[in-house]
Chain A
Amino acid sequence: MGTETRLLNCFSAVFPDAGEDELRRAAMGATESWDSMASVTLVSLVEEEFGVQVAPDDLEHFVSFRQVLGYVEGAAEKSAL
């Protein structure tokens, strides 16, 4: 399963009513149910799914699906080096 699909799975667990396209466009502020609880849950899901530790300073990436995807892909590249 590709990174994007795995991340969609995480987002779908937090925003169960959103369709796939909506999830891809999901962003704090634009997505109604994206509150602080959703952010914390997303961080935990990403850590669980991708085996990464999200540092407090990296929480700034957790504001949209695209940014989280970029963060996860960047983390994967770093660990491959």
Chain B
Amino acid sequence: MKLVEALKLLRERPPEGAESFRAFLACGFTPLHLETFLGAHLRRRRPGLAVGTATGLYGDLTGSLRRLTEEPGDLDAAAVVIEWPDLDPRLGIRGAGSWSPEVLPDVLRTAAERAEWLAEAIVKASERVPLAVAVPTLPLPPASFEPGWQSGAFDLNLRRTAADLAARVSRGRGVRVISQSRLDERSPLAARLDVKSELTTGFPYQLAHASDLAEALATALLPPPPKKGLITDLDDTLWRGLVGEVGAEGVSWGLDAHSQAHALYQMLLGSLARTGVLVAVASKNEPEAAARALAREDLALSKDDLFPVEVGWGAKSEAVSRILRAWNVGADGVVFVDDSPIELAEVKAAHPNIECVEFPRGDDEGAYRLLARLRDLFGKSALLEEDALRLQTVRQSAAAAEEVNGGGDSSHTERFLEQAEAELTLSFDAGASDARAFELVNKTNQFNLNGVRYTEALWRRRLEEPGGFLMVTSYKDKYGPLGKIAVLAGRREGERLRVGTWVMSCRAFARRIEHRCLAALFERFGAREIEFDFAETPKNAPLRAFLREFAEVDGGGRPRLTRETFAERCPPLYHKTFQTG
């Protein structure tokens, strides 16, 4: 992004009623264009937000970090940018200190102490506000006596100090450290420092580097939601060769057969599956031949990681439809990988929101780039317990749905629910720090009261409102645990409860969990009425249908449900429930 574009972007008015997003930039140098670029990249990432930025005082990184810890106010996020002079001013070019060999050990000592302080301050600040952190991005000044082509102890120790600082803060809750290697790809090291600007204004970056760094910070502060599922083709994608022609033993993946790209792709899919990504197969093939190849022991992912496996001769788009139904996931959360542009186009035509990615057959470089792209699409900042359960719960849901629908009559449904041995844990003590609850609120589409998404800071503020409550629901039955699957938040207003957030994972449908959640609210708070901050979204039909069945709409268009109406209309509930908090 050019500076002129950034300034123009910041001038554009945000949409009417846009949610505000206030970001703070903490750095030791003049923030100048970095603040401009940060604001512009945040705007570009979420045009629907009214982005505002603020900075601390020049040269006062310490004060800025203190402010973040002690008075975060209404900040939604902060970017912390550390450069070498923040570890020791002698590592900058604006001072007139000594670079004599005898002072270098002292520089190292000061830098290590300062890094220690910064790490502690950043971790502490991250408890109040989400942070993106960049550790030194500029080249070291020629302070040491070694020639530039040689790394000496001074240089290496400083880099270790910076790396230790990054590793330490990365363990802080809500801290996202900017990837140096990704920044290196975008912004060459030699084109980062602007000596003239640093000397005349105290702003050390060339404009292109300032933009690249700001973009990285904005991405870390407003990351894209990770995709939920990947559907892969088999021939010339999961493996090299056509299994229908060369047989299960003829297809290959590995160095010996010059098909290592396919082995790497399998390894990545295996890794994705273990991080809660759903992985399915859509292939035009003979089912028996494909099954034999998938059963090979040298496959680099477990065939149990693949669900469902759709192999046949029908249109790929139809296979994709069946997979989406089995997963109960919308197309916009899914990536489809195939080596055939025609198949990709056919699927895209039927499912415009699906992300279609071509597997570059015979192109090792391209295949390697694909792996990095898939990591970006599915990457997560942290793994949750529910990620490990996801595939299991999808299989359970599919099995349960089959049982529910098996009889085709309501008595069958009742029998199924009665015999499911369902147990619900309703936690009223989860709080804003519950990462799974926050994730559910921000990624659930179908059973979602109003589609409102929250930044971490806003979510915390909502829950801290007077009378605020949060109920996080976990579920298990004889088919296994689903983990935390529902979040309901709102506030008490006398004898009325006002619900502002209600989401439930699609994998928890058809178990009357939503009914039990409302029953629990009436019981716990002794409420006479629940009012819902409902808003129709393109995807929340399931919740709409539920409210239509139970609630009545008041003059202001807001659904309300009285205790009496709920008692009259609620079907039998068979769950055992436990409450915490």
Q: A40-B201, A41-B33 are in contact. Are A48 and B196 (CB under 8 A)?
A: no
Residues of chain A within 8 A (CB-CB) of B33 are 41, 44
The stretch of B1-9, B177-185, B235-243, B248-256 in contact with A is: B1-9
Contact of A56 among B2, B8, B36, B200 (CB under 8 A): B200
Tell whether B478 is near chain A: CB-to-CB under 8 Å.
Answer: no
Name the residue on B nearest A44 (C-beta).
B3
Do residues B196 and A53 form an inter-chain contact, with CB atoms below 8 A? yes
Do residues B4 and A16 form an inter-chain contact, with CB atoms below 8 A? no
Do residues B2 and A48 form an inter-chain contact, with CB atoms below 8 A? yes
Chain B nearest CB, measured from A57 CB (Å): 11
Tell whether A68 is near chain B: CB-to-CB under 8 Å.
Answer: no
Alpha-carbon separation in the docked complex, A14 to B33 (Å): 12
Do residues B7 and A44 form an inter-chain contact, with CB atoms below 8 A? no
- Interface set, chain B 31-86, CB cutoff 8 A to A: 32-33, 36
Do residues A9 and B200 form an inter-chain contact, with CB atoms below 8 A? no
Q: How many residues does chain A have at the interface if contact means C-beta atoms less than 8 Å apart?
A: 17
Do residues A13 and B196 form an inter-chain contact, with CB atoms below 8 A? no
Contact of B4 among A13, A37, A53, A55 (CB under 8 A): A13
Residues of chain A within 8 A (CB-CB) of B199 are 56
Tell whether B561 is near chain A: CB-to-CB under 8 Å.
Answer: no
Tell whether B11 is near chain A: CB-to-CB under 8 Å.
Answer: yes
User: Which among A9, A44, A56 has the highest number of chain B CB atoms within 10 Å?
Assistant: A44
Do residues A48 and B32 form an inter-chain contact, with CB atoms below 8 A? no
Do residues B7 and A14 form an inter-chain contact, with CB atoms below 8 A? yes
Name the residue on A nearest B203 (C-beta).
A40
Tell whether A10 is near chain B: CB-to-CB under 8 Å.
Answer: yes
Tell whether B207 is near chain A: CB-to-CB under 8 Å.
Answer: yes
Tell whether A22 is near chain B: CB-to-CB under 8 Å.
Answer: no
What are 11 inter-chain pairs, A to B, with CB distance below 8 A? A9-B4, A13-B3, A13-B8, A40-B201, A41-B7, A41-B36, A44-B197, A45-B4, A48-B4, A49-B4, A55-B196
Do residues B7 and A48 form an inter-chain contact, with CB atoms below 8 A? no
Do residues B7 and A13 form an inter-chain contact, with CB atoms below 8 A? yes
Do residues B4 and A10 form an inter-chain contact, with CB atoms below 8 A? yes
Do residues A44 and B8 form an inter-chain contact, with CB atoms below 8 A? no
- Interface set, chain B 1-25, CB cutoff 8 A to A: 2-4, 7-8, 11
Alpha-carbon separation in the docked complex, A45 to B3 (Å): 7
Chain B nearest CB, measured from A45 CB (Å): 6
Do residues B207 and A48 form an inter-chain contact, with CB atoms below 8 A? yes
Residues of chain B within 8 A (CB-CB) of A14 are 7
Alpha-carbon separation in the docked complex, A56 to B32 (Å): 18
Residues of chain A within 8 A (CB-CB) of B36 are 41
Chain B nearest CB, measured from A34 CB (Å): 15
Q: Mark A33-45, 1 if CB is under 8 A from B, else 0.
A: 0000100110011
Instruction: Give the A-binding residues of B (Cβ under 8 A).
Output: 2-4, 7-8, 11, 32-33, 36, 196-197, 199-201, 203, 207
Instruction: Give the B-binding residues of A (Cβ under 8 A).
Output: 9-10, 13-14, 16, 37, 40-41, 44-45, 47-49, 53, 55-56, 59
Alpha-carbon separation in the docked complex, A21 to B418 (Å): 79
Residues of chain B within 8 A (CB-CB) of A55 are 196
Residues of chain B within 8 A (CB-CB) of A37 are 32
Name the residue on B nearest A36 (C-beta).
B201
Name the residue on B nearest A16 (C-beta).
B11
Alpha-carbon separation in the docked complex, A49 to B3 (Å): 9
Q: A13-B3, A48-B3, A56-B200 given. 8 additional CB < 8 A pairs?
A: A10-B4, A13-B4, A16-B11, A40-B203, A41-B36, A45-B4, A45-B7, A48-B207
Alpha-carbon separation in the docked complex, A55 to B196 (Å): 8
Alpha-carbon separation in the docked complex, A14 to B37 (Å): 14
Name the residue on B nearest A53 (C-beta).
B196
Alpha-carbon separation in the docked complex, A37 to B30 (Å): 11
Name the residue on A nearest B2 (C-beta).
A48
Alpha-carbon separation in the docked complex, A62 to B167 (Å): 45
Do residues A56 and B196 form an inter-chain contact, with CB atoms below 8 A? yes
Residues of chain B within 8 A (CB-CB) of A40 are 32, 201, 203
Residues of chain A within 8 A (CB-CB) of B203 are 40
Chain B nearest CB, measured from A54 CB (Å): 8
Alpha-carbon separation in the docked complex, A47 to B194 (Å): 12
Chain A nearest CB, measured from B567 CB (Å): 60
Chain B nearest CB, measured from A30 CB (Å): 21
Alpha-carbon separation in the docked complex, A41 to B199 (Å): 15
Chain A nearest CB, measured from B553 CB (Å): 45
Closest 10 pairs between A and B when the two form their complex, measured CB to CB: A13-B7, A13-B4, A16-B11, A40-B201, A48-B3, A56-B200, A48-B207, A44-B3, A45-B4, A45-B3
Chain B nearest CB, measured from A50 CB (Å): 12
User: Which among B4, B33, B200, B203 has the highest number of chain A CB atoms within 10 Å?
Assistant: B4
Chain B nearest CB, measured from A55 CB (Å): 8
Residues of chain B within 8 A (CB-CB) of A45 are 3-4, 7
Name the residue on A nearest B11 (C-beta).
A16
Residues of chain A within 8 A (CB-CB) of B207 are 44, 47-48
User: Which among A10, A48, A55, A59 has the highest number of chain B CB atoms within 10 Å?
Assistant: A48
Chain A nearest CB, measured from B39 CB (Å): 14
Name the residue on A nearest B8 (C-beta).
A13
Alpha-carbon separation in the docked complex, A14 to B196 (Å): 21
Name the residue on A nearest B208 (C-beta).
A48
Alpha-carbon separation in the docked complex, A40 to B197 (Å): 9
Name the residue on B nearest A10 (C-beta).
B4
Residues of chain A within 8 A (CB-CB) of B201 are 40
Chain A nearest CB, measured from B69 CB (Å): 28
Chain A nearest CB, measured from B12 CB (Å): 10
Chain B nearest CB, measured from A4 CB (Å): 16
Alpha-carbon separation in the docked complex, A51 to B96 (Å): 31
Chain B nearest CB, measured from A11 CB (Å): 10
Alpha-carbon separation in the docked complex, A55 to B308 (Å): 65
Alpha-carbon separation in the docked complex, A59 to B199 (Å): 14
Chain A nearest CB, measured from B228 CB (Å): 41
Chain A nearest CB, measured from B485 CB (Å): 49
Alpha-carbon separation in the docked complex, A34 to B3 (Å): 18
Alpha-carbon separation in the docked complex, A34 to B8 (Å): 17
